[in-house]
Structure 1
Amino acid sequence: MAVPFRDLPSAAARLLADAAAAGVAARQRVQAAVADIALPGPARLSDYQRAAVSRMAEGILLDLEGALARGIAERLGEHAPPVLVERETPIALPVLERAGLPHDVELVALLLRRATEHRLGRRLRRTGGPGPLEAILGDADVEIARAAAAVLTAEARRYDGFHDAALPLVDLPGELLHRLVWSVAAALRIELVQRDDLPAAAVDRAAAAAAQALLAGHDEAAGFDGRALALVRTLDRAGRLEDDAVADFAEGGQVAVTVAALAHRAALDPAGAWEMALDPAGSRLAVLLRAAGLGGEGAGRILAAWLVHPRDIGEIGEDLASLSEADAREATRLWRLDPAFRAAIQALA
C-alpha cells in the first residue's frame, strides 16, 4: 500500500512529487516526439524554432510577471512581501507552466511567426549599406520619412541583448495580451495568498488594479505591425507602393513591412497574409503575390529571395505565370471576411 504524501517528511514528499511530475513530463516528451515525427519533413519545427519559441514565451511571461508584481507591490504598500519586491526567482511562471499556459495556440503561432521572420530577415539583411527603410529616412516626403523612422524605432525593441528574436509586450495583439495579463495576475494571486498567507481580498484588489492599469496602457498601433502598416499606407497614398518597392523591402530583409504591403494591396487580413507569406513550400506565397497584383518580375524577385531551393522557385514561377489575379483573389477570399466570422467557419468546418 502506498504511503500518503502527508505522512512522509516534507523533503521526502517533495522528492516523490518531483519524481511524479518528472514521469508525466517524460511521457509528454515522448508524445511530442511522436507527433513531430508523424509530420511531413517541411512541417516539422526546426531546433531553432523550438528554442526561439520557448525562450520568447518565457520572456513574455516574465515581463508580464515583473510589470504586474511591481503594480501589486505598489498597491499593497508596506504589506507587500519581500518575494514580490525582490523577485529573485519567478513567482507566477512555475504556476503557469504547470497549467500549460505557454502552449496557448495564438501565442505559439505568433512566436513561431516571429522566429521564422527573424531567421529570414537575418539571412537577407544587407551589410555595408543602408537597407530599404534606412534609404527613406531622409525622404523628401516628411510623412514617409517619419513613418520609416517609427518602424525602425519599433524594430529595435524586437531583439534581445544577444540580437536574437524577441517580442515586446507592445507587439502583442490586444485580445492575446488581455488573456495573458489576467492569467499571470491569477498565478501571482494564488502564490501570494497560498504561500505568503496574505489576505485574499487585499491581493485580489491589488492584482485586479495592476492588471487593469497594464491593459489600459496598451496601444496596438504603437506596436511594430501597426507602424509597418502605417508606413505601407503612407507609401500607397503617395503612389509609391509599386512592385519594385515591395520587392526591395523583401530582398532587404524587411519581412514584416513586405507582408504588410502584400496584405494591404490584396485587401487581406494581416494574419492570413502572414500565414501565406511564411509558407516554406512557397505555393501559398505565390498565390499571395498574385492576389496582391504583383507582376512577374516583382513576384519573381520575392520568390527568389525568400525561397531556399532554386528548383522550387522555377516550378512555382511557371505555375504562377498561369494564375490570374482574379483567381488568386478568389482563392484568398476567406481572409477578407471578419476575423470572428472566418474563425467560426473554420471551427465548424
Structure 2
Amino acid sequence: MAISHRDQEDGVRSGAATLRTRAAQADARADRRLAIAIDDFFLSDDGRLDDQLRDGLAQSLSGLVGTIEAAIRAHAGRLLAARGGPALAGAPLALDRLVAVGLVRDSELMGELIGRVRQTQLSEALPVESPDRADQPSMLARLSQYPDHVVATNAVALLAAEGRRREPGAGTRTDLPAELHHRLVWWVAAALRDSAPDATDTLDRALAEAALRSVAAHDESERLEASAMRLAAALDPRAEELAPLLLESLADRRLSLFIALLGHALGLDFADARDVVLDPDADRLWLVLRALELDRIAIARIGLALSDADPRRDVERFADALDGIASVPATEARSAIAPLLLHPDYRAALLALARGARA
C-alpha cells in the first residue's frame, strides 16, 4: 500500500513529539537524580544508611511484599478463574508500583523494618561464645527443656519464630505488627488492581476477598517480638536474676530475648526497648541498666559486647564514661528515664508537637 506524503509528515510529527516528550522526561529524571544526590551528600553520617543495612532493608521489603502478593495472587486467581474474570498479570509487580508512588515511604513501616534489620545484623555480629561455653547447649535449647512448662513452651515458640524470621518470604507470614500487615495487604491489592489491563467489578471483588483472607489469617501473637516478650514474662526474673540472664542472652546471640527482658523489667513494649538497645549513643541504655540496678561489671560486659558488634559505637568513649555510668544512683536513673515509660501514644503526640514547633 502506498504511503502518502501527508502520512509521512504525520509520522515525522508524531515521532518528533514522542522524542520531545521523552527528552522532557529525561530532563525531569536527571533533575530528580541530582536532587537525590545533593540530599545524600549533605546527610550527616548519623542518619545515613550503610550499604549492609540498605541491602538488608531492600531484601526485607521485597520479601514482605512478595509474600503478600503471592498469597493475594493465588487466591484471587482461583476466584477469577471460577467467575470468568480477567487474569492477573504474570510477573510480580506490586513492589515496583508501591515504590514508584511513594507508599512504602511510610514512617511506621520503614521504622519497623529498619529496626528489624538492625536487630538482626547486630545479633549476628555479637561476639561468639567463649571456648569454655562452646560445648554447652544454647540458652533457648536449655530453656526448652526447663521444668516449668510455660517457660519451655515459650522457649520453643521463640526458637520457631527466629527460624521463620531468618527466611523471609519462605512462607506465608510477614511477621509484621497487625496494623502494618493490614496496611501493606491493602496496598498490594490496590497495586495489583491498578496494573490490571482490564479492571472490572469481578476483579475488584476477587482482590478484596483475597486481601480480607490475608488479613484474617495474620496472627500477631506468632511474631518473633511477641514470642520473646512472652518468654521474658514467663521467666519473670527477680532483680538479682536479671543481669545473668541479660549477659547470657548476649553470649548466646539472642538479642531478641535481651531486648524482651529489658522491656519486661521496665514495662516497655518490644519496639521501644529495641530502640533503646539499638541506639549507638546508648545514653538511654546505660540509664536503663542503672535504673534496673545492674552493677559496673555487668554494664561493662554488655557495653563491650554491643561495641564489638556495632561499628557505630565508640568503645573508647564508653570505657571513659563507664565509671560515671556506674556511679549514677538507681533512683536518679529511674527519674531520668521516666519520659520513656509514658504511654507510647502520648509520647508520640509529644514528639509530633515538638516536631511541629521546630518546623
Same fold (TM over 0.5): yes
2:159 is the alignment partner of 1:155: no
In 2, Cα distance between the equivalents of 1:250 and 1:15?
60
In 2, Cα distance between the equivalents of 1:172 and 1:234?
23
* Residue ranges of structure 2 left out of the alignment (5+ in a row): 1-12, 309-313, 355-359
> Letter of the aligned partner of 1:187 in structure 2?
A
2:94 is the alignment partner of 1:92: yes
State the number of aligned residues.
331
2:237 is the alignment partner of 1:233: no
Structure with more relative contact order (C-alpha pairs < 8 Å, separation 6 or more): 2
The answer to whether the Cα contact below 8 Å between 1:96 and 1:102 also exists between their aligned partners in 2 is yes
What are the residue-to-residue correspondences of 1:225-264 with 2, within 5 Å?
225-236=225-236, 241-264=241-264
The answer to whether the Cα contact below 8 Å between 1:132 and 1:252 also exists between their aligned partners in 2 is yes
Secondary structure, counterpart of 1:157 in structure 2: helix
2:356 is the alignment partner of 1:347: no
The 3 A distance-change label for structure 1 pair 153 and 16 is: farther
Greater shift in the superposed pair: 142-151 or 75-84? 75-84
- Alignment match, 2:51: 47
* Residue ranges of structure 1 left out of the alignment (5+ in a row): 1-6
The answer to whether the Cα contact below 8 Å between 2:68 and 2:174 also exists between their aligned partners in 1 is no
In 1, Cα distance between the equivalents of 2:173 and 2:140?
23
Deviations 1:124-153 (A, max 9, x none): 263654332223222222222221111011
Pick one of 107, 110, 114 that aligns with 1:108.
110
- Alignment match, 1:187: 191
In 1, Cα distance between the equivalents of 2:229 and 2:57?
24
2:307 is the alignment partner of 1:307: yes
In 2, Cα distance between the equivalents of 1:14 and 1:97?
27
Deviations 1:268-314 (A, max 9, x none): 23222111111112323212322344332322221111014431331
- Alignment match, 1:76: 80
In 1, Cα distance between the equivalents of 2:291 and 2:170?
30
2:343 is the alignment partner of 1:338: yes
* Deviation, structure 1 residue 347: 0.6
The 3 A distance-change label for structure 1 pair 27 and 235 is: farther
The 3 A distance-change label for structure 1 pair 314 and 95 is: same
2:182 is the alignment partner of 1:178: yes
* Deviation, structure 1 residue 27: 4.2
> Letter of the aligned partner of 2:294 in structure 1?
L
* Deviation, structure 1 residue 38: 2.9
Larger Rg: 2
- Alignment match, 1:3: none
TM-score by length of 1: 0.84
The answer to whether the Cα contact below 8 Å between 2:72 and 2:207 also exists between their aligned partners in 1 is yes
- Alignment match, 1:285: 285
In 2, Cα distance between the equivalents of 1:27 and 1:166?
39
* Deviation, structure 1 residue 170: 4.1
- Alignment match, 1:266: 266
TM-score by length of 2: 0.82
Calculate the aligned-residue CA RMSD, in Å. Answer: 3.0
- Alignment match, 1:296: 296
Secondary structure, counterpart of 2:124 in structure 1: helix
The answer to whether the Cα contact below 8 Å between 2:221 and 2:227 also exists between their aligned partners in 1 is yes
Identical columns (%): 32
In 1, Cα distance between the equivalents of 2:167 and 2:257?
20
